[in-house]
């Protein structure tokens, strides 16, 4: 199945980007002819609970440094590939000591509400904005579509719109609601009351930037804290309070910030207090450009 998935991907790559060739000693490394674009392909079967497992060889990753490069994650019955620019995660990979076999272990978690990349000993990252061929297209086309500079409120608006499109109820703090930017998306309804059973941390939850709830219920699916200029640590503390006060929540926590803060997120999340609480197992990083791309993909469906 690995060979079939890889062959299908390479066939589509040839159609979209032109001829390719292998390089290095690995069977997983390719480059697009006539360019410096490098592509690292990894495949996994889909295991229980919709999880996939990958080993990223440190020696292969080293050959991506300094080049326009992507890592392509493939799995069974995949509609579109997950294509991640190496530069977006370079600092994260550099901070990890590989296992004894020379590999960095990773998983892709195929959740109903969002796809996540889990990197062992680092944490989870929302990768919805990387699904599809856009990243390779952006590398090929120098004049590719630019991601606009987004404000805190505009990111809140986009996250609310994505959730509404996915048929969640949306909570945004009342103080922020008049500032939502309806030029970016169609207006959506907002939840007026937080779920019952959250009284212990009601004040904290009420200040979280965006919350998705399963429509018509008190079941929380996702929390998003947009750290535009405030410290990432403060958002993690807020999430940690909710996580400890409501341990039975089956919810995802996302710190949302610009790409320059990804490595800071990884360092902060690895503090002993968050490792001991288990927050690192349910919290991911979501970058502004990913929110924008996720919204673009969602509204096109």
- Residue 182 sits in the same domain as residue 61: no
Confidence (pLDDT) at 233: 93
The b/e string for 145-184 (b: 16+ C-beta within 10 A; e otherwise) is eebeebebbbbbbbbbbbbbebebbbbbeeebeeebeeeb
Low-confidence ranges of the chain (pLDDT < 50): 142-144
- Residue 92 sits in the same domain as residue 206: no
- Residue 244 sits in the same domain as residue 270: yes
Tokens of 92: 């994260």
Judge whether 145 lies within some domain. Answer: no
Confidence (pLDDT) at 143: 31
DSSP state of 230: S
DSSP state of 222: E
Between strands 38-44 and 69-75, the pairing is parallel
Confidence (pLDDT) at 142: 39
Cβ-contact 58, 101 below 8 angstroms: no
Judge whether 209 lies within some domain. Answer: yes
What number of other Cβ atoms are within 10 A of residue 16's Cβ? Answer: 12
Judge whether 146 lies within some domain. Answer: no
pTM of the model: 0.71
- Select from 40, 19, 13 the least CA-distant residue to 137: 13
Judge whether 288 lies within some domain. Answer: yes
Count: domains in the chain: 2
Cβ-contact 86, 104 below 8 angstroms: no
- Residue 8 sits in the same domain as residue 108: yes
Strand runs (DSSP E) across the chain, as ranges?
A: 20-22, 29-32, 38-44, 51-57, 69-75, 82-85, 103-110, 115-119, 123-126, 168-171, 210-214, 220-226, 252-257, 283-287
- Residue 134 sits in the same domain as residue 159: no
- Residue 10 sits in the same domain as residue 136: yes
Four-CA torsion 40, 68, 138, 222, nearest 10 degrees: 60
Q: Which domain CATH number covers 7?
A: 3.40.1350
Compute the distance between CA of residue 209 and CA of residue 225 in angstroms, rounded to an integer.
Answer: 5
- Residue 88: domain span: 2-140
Cβ-contact 41, 28 below 8 angstroms: yes
> Which of 91, 107, 140 is at the close of a domain?
140
Judge whether 237 lies within some domain. Answer: yes
Compute the distance between CA of residue 176 and CA of residue 157 in angstroms, rounded to an integer.
Answer: 10
Percent of the chain, pLDDT > 90? 60
- Residue 182 sits in the same domain as residue 102: no
Compute the distance between CA of residue 63 and CA of residue 117 in angstroms, rounded to an integer.
Answer: 21
Cβ-contact 119, 270 below 8 angstroms: no
- Residue 43 sits in the same domain as residue 96: yes
> Which of 140, 162, 193 is at the close of a domain?
140
DSSP state of 64: T
DSSP state of 49: G
Burial (0-12, 13-18, 19+ Cβ within 10 Å), 116: buried
Compute the distance between CA of residue 263 and CA of residue 269 in angstroms, rounded to an integer.
Answer: 10
Compute the distance between CA of residue 87 and CA of residue 64 in angstroms, rounded to an integer.
Answer: 9
Confidence (pLDDT) at 240: 95
- Select from 43, 121, 55 the least CA-distant residue to 82: 43
- Select from 261, 275, 285, 287 the least CA-distant residue to 121: 275
């Amino acid at each position: 199945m690995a060979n079939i998935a890889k062959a299908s991907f390479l066939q589509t790559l040839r159609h979209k980007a032109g001829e390719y060739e292998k390089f290095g000693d690995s069977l997983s490394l390719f480059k697009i002819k006539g360019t410096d674009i490098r592509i690292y392909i990894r495949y996994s079967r889909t295991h229980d609970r919709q999880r996939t497992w990958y080993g990223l060889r440190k020696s292969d990753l080293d050959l991506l440094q300094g080049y326009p490069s992507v890592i392509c994650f493939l799995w069974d019955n995949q509609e579109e590939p997950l294509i991640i620019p190496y530069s977006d995660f370079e600092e994260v990979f550099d901070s990890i000591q590989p296992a004894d076999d020379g590999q960095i272990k990773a998983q892709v978690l195929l959740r109903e509400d969002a796809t996540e990349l889990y990197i062992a000993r680092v944490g989870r990252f929302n990768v919805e904005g990387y699904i599809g061929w856009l990243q390779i297209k952006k590398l090929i086309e120098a004049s590719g579509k630019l991601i606009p500079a987004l404000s805190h409120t505009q990111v809140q608006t986009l996250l609310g719109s994505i959730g509404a499109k996915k048929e969640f109820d949306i909570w945004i703090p009342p103080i922020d609601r008049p500032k939502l930017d309806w030029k970016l998306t169609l207006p959506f309804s907002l939840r007026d009351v937080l779920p019952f059973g959250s009284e212990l941390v009601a004040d904290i939850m009420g200040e979280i930037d965006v919350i998705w709830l399963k429509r018509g219920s008190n079941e929380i699916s996702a929390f998003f804290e947009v750290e535009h200029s405030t410290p990432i640590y403060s958002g993690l503390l807020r999430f940690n309070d909710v996580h400890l006060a409501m341990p039975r929540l089956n919810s995802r926590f996302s710190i949302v910030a610009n790409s320059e803060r990804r490595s800071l997120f990884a360092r902060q999340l690895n503090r002993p207090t968050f490792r001991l609480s288990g927050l690192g197992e349910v919290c991911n990083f979501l970058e502004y450009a990913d929110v924008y791309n996720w919204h673009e993909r969602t509204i096109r469906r």
